[in-house]
Structure 1
Amino acid sequence: MINKVESGEMPVAWISGPGGCGKTHAALEAIKSFTDRGLPPIYCNPSSYRDVVQSLKQAKVHNSGRPKERRLVVMEEADVIFRSDKCLNLLKIATDRAGTGMYDGMDVRVPMVVTTNTPLDEIAATDKVRGEHLRALFNRVPPVTISYDRRANYDYAVSVALTTDLLRFTPAKQQISRETVVRTLEWFTSEFNRIELLTARTLVNIAEYHTSFSPDTARTMLDRLLLPNGNHRRLPAPPTSNWTAVVDEAVDRKRALRNGLAWESRLNTATSFRRVPAASILPTVHNTPAPLNSVEFSEIEPLFKWANKIGWTGHTLNCIAGCSKVSRACKHCYATALIARGMHNLHKGLAYWDRGKALWTGEVRYDRRVLTERPKTWGKKPSLVFFTSLSDPFHETLPVEIIQEMLDGCAAFPQHIFQWLTKRPERAAALADTLRWPENIWIGATIEEDKEVWRADELRKIPVATKFISAEPLAVDGMPSLDLTDISWLIVGGESGNGAEPMHIDWARSLRDRAVGAGTAFFFKQWGAHGPDGKKHERKAGDNDVLLDGRIWHQFPRVALDHGLKFQRFGMKR
């Protein structure tokens, strides 16, 4: 089927099947083929009709009527397509060979590979609302449904857990106890016929729920991993194991292999200890889905409120304003110019103009009312909040009492995640033991070139579960010395505005590959004033400004998903 899409013989390939059954591998083969022909594909995880349309718009036609000249659109986990009448109408036009291919003024006849967890054949046969549309669509292009051997998938997931460090830490960096690993494997085995997806990611979820939540809450979370009543399988369950003994032996085996010692099993067990390549857990190639401790934007988008265009955050909270320059990242600071222009009366005197350049006075001003009142206007829905965009929360002139008051103010709105970003992590580390750190705080450091990577070491000293790095603006080097150990999130972006310098494409690729290899969520914000070819944009780059090798990289730490689900499911609202 993939070969037919490449040749233009078939307009689209639908591939459906449960997680872990090989859909992504098939999509990657198509991506590689088109990339080798000089046609970088459009890669997306659509969460709405708008995302689908936007992806098709980017698939430019170089020579009308010749499908080979069109860029491939790869839509992974595109379940939304088969739940939307608009999407189904668009796809019917796209696959109609006798039609014009025009939809809302746009030629939608572009090669597509669509993967989904939705059982397409079942929906087409049983859905009274959309079944007719799907049957008409699949009469033109039959879907490929990859069957899924539950026992094989179970064995693989358990093998991953026993032969790697998969169940060593939760996504929030909490250590998982041996007892929790045993309990996780016991539950995974006992619910073999009821668990919807028998995958390594499910094992991580089970261990995290047991580690991070009370027994009652964990039980509720675990129930959501099960199939609805009446849909349970009737397959022979795996043999019951003495999981305590199995886990102990797995630990001994890993220790022996790490030290180059001989190892021999002492157990007569059906559990396989076959070697699992590390790449199957944390892939290092760039055309891969998010690592196990990361999620795509489409997964968290419905759970949070998004009120700005920054991309990696939904709100900004500026209860402090004013700063002073400390490194190259401050060279073209947008906040200095905004305040120098008199953006707000409260900011007068914090910055000034000198021979066409905006400069800080060094004063930092705190407004308690913004901290206590502004979040009340956002409603009860959770948000990711950038704290703050007009200053540095650990500026040397801020008293410790004010910093603690700001932390306490964030704790008063537990439904929100406050993203504290600083260029002074050394001060935060120095104050770490004297401050009370709320659970809804993420702490990040701006690191824009290799000589500033020491900030990552200071960042690791801060007792906050989720730590992130903002490599923006990246305009000097690719930071080859950057260590991503214990870093949950890496944001990369080029420089924009007057005087902006270009970001080399190899710098962005190197950081992306290192992030994926380390299990760190990767967010590519923008190219900035220059494109990937190093040339300055003559006009606004639009959607292409966020593409790296034909893909939108908008990953978030998995804890964001868990936070959003917690407040959605259990009504934990302010």
Structure 2
Amino acid sequence: MAETKIEWADFTFNPWIGCTKVSPACANCYAERDFDHRYGKAKWGPNGTRVLTNDANWRKPLAWNKAAAESSTRPRVFCASLADVFEDWQGPILDHQTYAQCLIDSEPSRFVPIIPGVQELGVEERAAGWRPVVMDDVRNRLFKLIDATPNLDWLLLTKRPENIRSMWPAVNIQSQQQADDYNELGELFRRNVWLGTSVEDQKWANRRIPQLLKCRDLSPVLFLSCEPVVGPIDLTHVLLKESEAPELGIPDVSINCLRGWYGAVSYERAKIDWVITGGESGPGARPANPDWYRSLRDQCQSALIPFHFKQWGEWVGLNDTEAQLSLFAKSDHHAFDQETIVYRIGKKSAGRRLDGRFYDGFPQRSVV
């Protein structure tokens, strides 16, 4: 049933293509490399474009949802691997044929191309209520699709968790389960959406995780993608507020986001449900210290949080793979210290075993 090479998803769905880099994890963005530089599908960056995928692509989740209902399965859909659903985009929105789009508010999900000399957005059209499509229109169309596919679990991963709540529309109720959730949990809760944020080092963990935790009432599963890791991450001490008087011995305020501990008090709702990690692949891939992965694994195991090791990426330690020794002899290497050396042997050869085993943890449930 799987239609993606991403180990933690069954399907990938891209409603549009294009994004803007916001942190070090974005430096070697494969989506920009392939869909901007190589294929020219969209222009990345704040002065670029966002390009809608075609209608046939938008219909695919409906087919997946039907098949899931018939087979009593629950596929995971990674949404927007080539974009960020919660990007505050104010620029041009084009269709897959590079035409700008317009709509009339009486039919908000019907986008019409603006074709010079054929179908334009002139004075008469504007007077009749037609206007340019903006990203909120596209996002609302996406959430209507999500609400229409309750047999799929949609994984929305963002580097902009601070935008989630302001861009999160009320549920378009289409089932009894959604109606029950509406009455019990509110108009914003979506049972079939998992919300995640990317954290590549401690700095970005401190910035993004508290923002994600504020979305506990929107989704049953909150998760982290620590990929690519570019530095150590301690999820047991995520900074909420720096000390106002460190010279007086007053400590920073932090939270253990795996247990929901805030000081000596435990808040079940203030915790992460799942952690994914992995190394970088492709041109320019940066080496990661194997101990960064082990630390995340050990933190998760101690807190009984599902841990998923996706891949080593391009770089791996000599004793961390079953690859042939001949590969190491002719490869680049990077030493973190005298005892910690990683070698660039390629993603496929490096594999995805950590200390000799696979880690394929997935969340089973979450406290709402």
Tell me, yes or no, whether TM beats 0.5.
yes
- Cα 1:508/1:320, change in 2 over 3 Å: same
CA shift digits 1:433-461 (9 cap, x unpaired): 86744321111101111111121111111
Alignment of 1:67-146 (within 5 A): none
1:521 is displaced (CA, Å) by 0.9
Structure holding more strand per residue: 2
Q: Is the 8 A contact 1:336 1:360 kept in 2?
A: no
Amino acid paired to 1:469: L
Q: 1:342 Cα deviation (Å)? A: 5.1
What is the aligned counterpart of 2:17 among 283, 297, 321?
A: 321
Deviation at 1:545, TM superposition (A): 1.9
Structure 1 residue 360 displacement after superposition = 7.0
Asked whether the equivalents of residues 154 and 192 of structure 2 are also in contact (C-alpha less than 8 Å), the reply is yes
Instruction: Spell out the pairing of 1:447-462 with structure 2 (5 A cutoff).
Output: 447-453=199-205, 454-462=207-215
Q: Deviation per CA, 1:468-514, whole angstroms, max 9, x where unpaired?
A: 10000002223464433321110000111111111111111111111
Amino acid at match of 2:196: G
Distance 1:540 1:324 in 2: 26
TM-score, normalised via structure 2 length: 0.61
**Map 1:164-563 → 2, pairs under 5 A:** 305-341=1-37, 343=39, 348-351=41-44, 361-367=47-53, 369=55, 372-378=58-64, 380-381=67-68, 382-397=74-89, 399-432=135-168, 436-453=188-205, 454-462=207-215, 463-479=218-234, 481-482=237-238, 483-484=257-258, 485=260, 486-533=271-318, 534-539=341-346, 541-542=348-349, 545-559=351-365
Q: Indicate if the aligned counterparts of 1:383 and 1:417 stay in contact, CA closer than 8 A.
A: yes
Conserved 8 A contact 2:155-2:196: yes
1:307 Cα offset (Å): 2.1
- 1:350–1:360 Cα contact (<8 Å) kept: no
- Mapped partners of 1:370, 1:439: distance in 2: 26
Deviations 1:83-128 (A, max 9, x none): xxxxxxxxxxxxxxxxxxxxxxxxxxxxxxxxxxxxxxxxxxxxxx
SS of corresponding position for 1:492: strand
Higher helix proportion (structure 1 or 2)? 1
Q: 1:539 to 1:511 in 2, by over 3 A?
A: closer
CA contact under 8 A between 1:490 and 1:515: conserved in structure 2?
A: yes
* Whole-Å separation in 2 of the counterparts to 1:433 and 1:541: 40
Is the alpha carbon distance of 1:466 and 1:400 closer, same or farther for their aligned partners in structure 2, counting shifts above 3 Å? same
- Structure 2 CA distance, aligned partners of 1:326 and 1:539? 26
Q: Separation in 2 of the partners of 1:309 and 1:368?
A: 22
State the Cα distance separating 1:372 from its structure 2 match. Answer: 3.8
Q: Secondary structure at the match of 1:457?
A: helix
Cα shift readout 1:371-401 (whole Å, capped 9, x = no counterpart): 6412244451332111011100001116334
**Structure 1 residue 535 displacement after superposition:** 2.4
Q: How many residues align?
A: 245
Instruction: Please state how far the C-alpha of 1:465 moved relative to its aligned partner.
Output: 1.2
Deviations 1:138-197 (A, max 9, x none): xxxxxxxxxxxxxxxxxxxxxxxxxxxxxxxxxxxxxxxxxxxxxxxxxxxxxxxxxxxx
For residues 143 and 287 of structure 2, the distance between their equivalents in structure 1, rounded to whole angstroms, comes to: 36
Instruction: Give ranges in structure 2 of 5+ residues lacking alignment.
Output: 69-73, 90-133, 172-187, 239-256, 261-270, 319-340
Distance 1:520 1:362, change over 3 A: farther
Q: Please give the per-residue CA displacement for 1:173-231, whole angstroms capped at 9, x wherever unaligned.
A: xxxxxxxxxxxxxxxxxxxxxxxxxxxxxxxxxxxxxxxxxxxxxxxxxxxxxxxxxxx
Are the aligned partners of 1:503 and 1:532 in contact in 2 as well (CA < 8 Å)?
no
Conserved 8 A contact 2:42-2:51 = no
Do 2:3 and 2:12's aligned partners in 1 also have CA atoms closer than 8 Å?
Answer: no
**Alpha-carbon separation, structure 1, partners of 2:201 and 2:165:** 21
Q: Percent identity?
A: 32
Q: Structure 1 CA distance, aligned partners of 2:7 and 2:211?
A: 26
Tell me by how many angstroms 1:541 deviates.
4.3
CA contact (8 A) 2:281 2:347 kept: no
Q: Distance in 2 between matches of 1:539 and 1:452?
A: 27
Structure 1 counterpart of 2:342, one-letter code: K
SS in 2 for 1:470: strand
Q: Return closer, same or farther for 1:438/1:405 CA change in 2, 3 Å cut-off.
A: farther
Distance in 2 separating the partners of 1:443 and 1:370? 26
Aligned-pair RMSD on alpha carbons? 2.5
TM-score by length of 1: 0.40
Work out whether residues 314 and 345 of structure 2, in 8 Å CA contact, stay in contact via their aligned partners in 1: no
1:474 maps to amino acid: V
